Structure formats: C-alpha cells, structure tokens
C-alpha cells in the first residue's frame, strides 16, 4: 500500500478539520428559514387593507376618470374639464391633490375637474401621449385647448381656466 503524497495528506487533514464545523451552521439556518416561512405565511393570511385615495368618496368634487368613462365625462361634457393626469409614485402629483380638490370645489358648476391615474389607464395615457407628471389638460367642447406640466398652486389653476 502506498503512502499518500504530502499534498493529499494535508488536504485530508483540512477536510477532517472542517468537517467538525459542517453541521453547526445548519441549525441556525433551519431556524431562520422556518421563522421567515412562518412570518411570510402569517402576513399572507391577513386580509389586505384597502387603499384609500384622497380623491375617493362622496364628498369629492374631483371626478375619478378611467379609460371607460373618459369619453362620457370629458369629451362629451357640456362644461370645460380640467384633467389631472397623475401617477401614484409621483411626489408632486400627490402633493397637488389637496389643491386639485380645493379647485374642483371652487369651480363646481362652472367647470369640472377630473383625475386620471396614468398607471391604471393606459389607453387615455397613450392617446394623449402623457409622459410628464403631473400633466394638466383643459378640454372645452371635447377638444384639448391647453396643456401644462408640473405642480401648480391654486392661483395657477385659476389662471389656466381663465385664459
């Protein structure tokens, strides 16, 4: 029987030394895995909380526009309609919501204000080539007459409608 070469002997010693630690990390890993699985299972079993929208509800003067109602609410409207094209991930869009609400209440009966979530309504978003947020479009007689971009103050909204 031949003797192992020095390299093989050293490798065997290293393997034997490492084998004593082989199973010591398995227990914490199994506990961690079980904990993560349990946490994911428990959180997945909870009923999702409905998201509330600042524009939702009966007290809102802002019309929630969709691909389905855009034609009837905007294009066929007898009143001028200011449409706020917004995105839920857009900071200025979210910051402007209270101003849009206030403006909608102020001009009720004179003009309408609508809000369209561009992420949920791709047809209108593509048709009007919306790529900047927020985009405000004023429609009169179903035709786009003015388009402005960015966060606006109440006074700036008044100017958009009066020009």
The shares of helix, strand and coil residues in the chain, as percent rounded to the nearest 5, are 45, 20, 40
Long-range CB pairs of 55-59 (<8 Å, 24+ gap) are 55/97, 55/100, 55/101, 55/115
d(CA 100, CA 157): 8
Q: Which positions are annotated as active-site residues? A: 90, 93
Half-sphere exposure of 114 (CA within 13 A, CB side): 24
């Amino acid at each position: 029987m031949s003797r192992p070469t020095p390299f093989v002997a050293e490798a065997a010693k290293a393997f034997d030394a490492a084998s004593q630690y082989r199973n010591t990390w398995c227990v914490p890993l199994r506990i961690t895995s079980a904990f993560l699985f349990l946490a994911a299972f428990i959180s997945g079993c909870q009923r999702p909380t409905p998201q509330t929208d600042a524009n939702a509800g009966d007290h809102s003067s802002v019309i929630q526009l969709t691909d389905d109602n855009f034609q009837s609410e905007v294009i066929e409207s007898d009143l001028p309609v200011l449409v706020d094209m917004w995105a839920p991930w857009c900071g200025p869009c979210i910051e402007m919501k209270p101003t849009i609400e206030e403006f909608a209440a102020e001009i009720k009966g004179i003009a309408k204000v609508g809000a369209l979530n561009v992420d949920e309504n791709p047809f209108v978003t593509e048709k009007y080539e919306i790529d900047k947020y927020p985009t405000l479009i004023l429609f009169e007689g179903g035709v786009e007459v003015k388009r402005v971009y960015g966060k606006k103050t109440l006074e700036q909204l008044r100017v958009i409608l009066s020009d």
